[in-house]
Amino acid sequence: MPLQHRAARAANPVIPGFHPDPSVCRVGDDYYLACSSFEYFPGVPVFHSRDLVHWTQIGNALDRPGQLRLPASMPSSGGIYAPTLRHHDGRFWLIVTNVREGGGNLIVTATDPAGPWSDPVWAPGVPGIDPDLAWDEDGTCWCTVAGVSQVRIDPSTGQTYGTPRKLWSGAPGAKAPEAPHLYRIGDHWYLLIAEGGTERGHGVSIARGRTPGGPFEPCPANPILTHRSTDHPVQNTGHADLVQGPDGSWWMVLLGVRPRGGTPGWHVLGRETFLAPVTWVDGWPVVGEVALDLSTLPWPLSPGPVEEHRDDFGLSELRPYWISLRDRPAEHCTTKERPGWLTLRARGDSLDEPDVVFTGRRQQHASCRARTLVDPSGGRGGLAVRLDERHHYAIEASGSEVRVIARVGSLRTVVAAQPVPDGPVVLGVTTSDPPPPHGPCTGPDVVSLGVEQPDGTFTELAALDGRYLSTEVAGGFTGRVIGMYAAAGNVHFDWFEYEPVSR
């Protein structure tokens, strides 16, 4: 039966799961936000909100092959980095980097942020990653990038003018000055950056000047936000953007992680989007608490979007939250071949291969359950929890057998196998807290994989340590994605359910 839908809670992270590098803008009473997507297609998820707390994904900015090329040679955690989303002169502008694709930085525009977005305009004169766009009073547009350097640009053509010049780059000796955003607020231009690296030392600093090019005076209270060397449940706070509400209030969106388990702590959901209030004191922003409970915010919250937990694949196109590895050609992923089913046609022969046909959704809850009804009669495939090609767990159906496969680094093993009757079978994955006793070596969670019997009972075939599907083990910039894959032939999926599980 379909799962019951529920209204979203007023809680941080405001966009949970692998949604890093948020950039936000406001048009009237509406807020729009975009995030990085790395090796997944479509690229750059775009969200809408009326209160900064409850967000609905309305599309993806790069949803056509002509906008986004991610070849099989593109490594995991390559691809689409750090968009900046802005609204200027009646249009939405989005600039972003396609890492290792040769083109570098690209710009797309739209009158409706839900799409369609334009074909990309490339900006070869913009060096580096994390590009930002800001317009001054006479319409001149400035592009500032990680490093931190700046160049004048015509965003409609991608043409740059002059040589990029270095600006203020944060605290002396701090690594990775990046994620710059430039704003005109009052009498000053403010340059917001991240520094310290995107791990536990991450932080946000700011400087101000009288012109877009500086010189910039650093805030005496820098970093204005960091959770380094604290026991706060949200860590790695950084890569932020500022936005002003229609009531004059100020807010910051930022990325952070929620490490769990013992030492050193493992985060498995990736870097998530959080919200914090901002006040101004003596011309400088003061960032408030990155609180997990946002129900006490000082204005009425919207009811929140209805959370979709089940997809019966009845639409001609996939919903915007579905993501695939590097591309999604119709000949390999379609809902039109077998009405009411998602058909995946294999290419790579396992999840170890960069061209495997995989379509999933981001894991957004520490404890969750995912299930799918798969018909493997024409091939081999199943349900997987993926971090990258070298770190994933899967339950795979082929003929009259299901088996659990674990890939951790250079090791790949069949953990368990069990015969099942011919025909469609329900496969399931559950993530949950580790059993007691807990200690300094306790992992973040347990990933259980199994099959559902005809009477609805779940038979667990394997319970695997979740730490091996964490960023602290695997490295990189992404988070877990749970989804369906085909490793041989044609595999059909009748429905997919995902739901949080109360802890």
Sign of CA dihedral 391, 470, 293, 297: negative
Distance CA 320, CA 57 (A): 7
Range 392-401, long-range pairs (CB < 8 A, 24+ positions): 392/351, 392/469, 393/429, 393/447, 393/449, 393/462, 393/464, 393/469, 394/351, 394/449, 394/485, 395/427, 395/428, 395/429, 395/449, 395/450, 395/451, 395/461, 396/487, 397/425, 397/427, 398/488
- The confidence band for 3, taking pLDDT boundaries of 50, 70 and 90, is very low
Arithmetic mean of pLDDT over the chain:
95
pLDDT exceeds cutoff 60 at 423: yes
Taking only the tens place, the pLDDT of each residue in 317-335 is 999 999 999 999 999 999 9
Assess contact for 443 and 467: CB atoms under 8 A: yes
- The confidence band for 502, taking pLDDT boundaries of 50, 70 and 90, is confident
Q: Which helix (H) or strand (E) holds 474?
A: helix 471-474
Q: Looking at per-residue confidence, does 6 or 330 come out higher? A: 330
Assess contact for 146 and 132: CB atoms under 8 A: no
Q: Looking at this protein, which amino acid is placed at residue 441?
A: C
Distance CA 267, CA 280 (A): 32
Q: What is the pLDDT of residue 102?
A: 64
pLDDT exceeds cutoff 90 at 428: yes
Q: How many CB atoms lie within 10 A of CB 288?
A: 14
Assess contact for 283 and 186: CB atoms under 8 A: yes
Domains along the sequence of the chain with CATH: 20-232 (2.115.10.20), 308-500 (2.60.120.200)
Distance CA 157, CA 153 (A): 8
Assess contact for 122 and 101: CB atoms under 8 A: no
Q: Which residue has the tokens 């009646």?
A: 90
Distance CA 325, CA 425 (A): 24
- The confidence band for 503, taking pLDDT boundaries of 50, 70 and 90, is low
Record the pTM: 0.96
User: Who contacts 140 (Cβ-Cβ below 8 Å, separation ≥6)?
Assistant: 152, 212
Taking only the tens place, the pLDDT of each residue in 101-154 is 666 999 999 999 999 999 999 999 999 999 999 999 999 999 999 999 999 999
The residues annotated as belonging to the active site are: 21, 178
pLDDT exceeds cutoff 80 at 97: yes
pLDDT exceeds cutoff 70 at 2: no
Query: Mean pLDDT throughout 454-461?
Result: 90
Distance CA 217, CA 214 (A): 8
- Structure tokens that stand for 140 in this block: 């001149």
Q: What is the pLDDT of residue 5?
A: 47
Query: Mean pLDDT throughout 455-480?
Result: 96
- The confidence band for 300, taking pLDDT boundaries of 50, 70 and 90, is confident
Q: What is the pLDDT of residue 4?
A: 41
Assess contact for 217 and 259: CB atoms under 8 A: no
- The confidence band for 206, taking pLDDT boundaries of 50, 70 and 90, is very high
